[in-house]
């Protein structure tokens, strides 16, 4: 797994790591059972403190995407093929999505541009098999 972070970004490094792992799972690059580098190894590879990686991995564990174990290390627990999300996930996700879209609108992005950006992003996940039709129906 190649992980790219931007040390000059305003987004905290642990959040960038978390986000890149989530994107890799969504894109099918990491499947259920895939091992991730140890916190110390990833920290050394990225030239950052291992506590930063640990914080990212712990977030992913709390979200149910990783299992952390002393023997096996960090392993992907679920992916798009492992069934429906846990109870309550959709409501929490929708609230975060609403805030993200509000940021776009507040910065001057109009609805069609925001929708186009959403469609473009969705086509990059799960090998591009996500249905992003424009008929107002749920995919």
Q: Are residues 72 and 93 in the same domain?
A: no
**Residues 72, 93 share a domain:** no
Closest CA relative to residue 61, chosen from 16, 18, 30, 92 = 18
Residues 71 and 99 in one domain: no
Q: How many domains does the chain have?
A: 2
The overall pTM is greater than 0.75: yes
Q: Which residue range is the domain that position 97 belongs to?
A: 89-128
pLDDT class of 139 with cuts at 50, 70, 90: very low
Question: Has residue 68 been placed in a domain?
Answer: yes
22-36, pLDDT tens digit by residue?
999 998 899 999 999
> Tell me, what CATH number does 19's domain have?
1.10.10.10
Q: Which of 53, 67, 68, 69 is nearest to 18 (CA)?
A: 53
Burial class (CB in 10 A: 0-12, 13-18, 19+), 90: exposed
pLDDT at 68: 95
Are residue 106 and residue 68 in the same domain, yes or no? no
Residue 103 lies in a domain: yes
Inside any domain, residue 135: no
Identify which has the larger pLDDT, 27 or 2.
27
Residue 51 belongs to what H/E stretch?
A: helix 50-62
* Tens of pLDDT, residues 58-83: 999 999 999 999 888 999 999 988 88
Instruction: Tell me whether residue 101 is exposed, middle or buried, using C-beta atoms within 10 angstroms of its C-beta: 0 to 12, 13 to 18, 19 or more.
Output: middle
Q: How far is CA 42 from CA 13, 63, 74, 130, in A?
A: 12, 20, 11, 30
C-alpha radius of gyration, the chain, whole number: 16
């Amino acid at each position: 797994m190649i992980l790219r972070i931007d040390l000059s970004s305003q987004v905290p490094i642990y959040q960038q790591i978390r986000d890149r792992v989530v994107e890799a799972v969504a894109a099918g690059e990491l499947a259920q059972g895939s091992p991730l580098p140890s916190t110390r190894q990833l920290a050394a590879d990225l030239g950052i403190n291992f506590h930063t990686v640990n914080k990212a991995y712990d977030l992913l564990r709390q979200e149910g995407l990783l299992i952390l174990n002393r023997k096996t290390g960090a392993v992907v627990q679920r992916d798009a093929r492992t069934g429906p999300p846990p109870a309550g996930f959709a409501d929490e996700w929708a609230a975060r999505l609403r805030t993200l879209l509000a940021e776009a609108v507040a910065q001057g992005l109009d609805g069609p541009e925001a929708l186009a950006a959403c469609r473009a992003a969705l086509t990059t996940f799960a090998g591009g098999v996500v249905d992003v039709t424009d008929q107002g129906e749920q995919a």
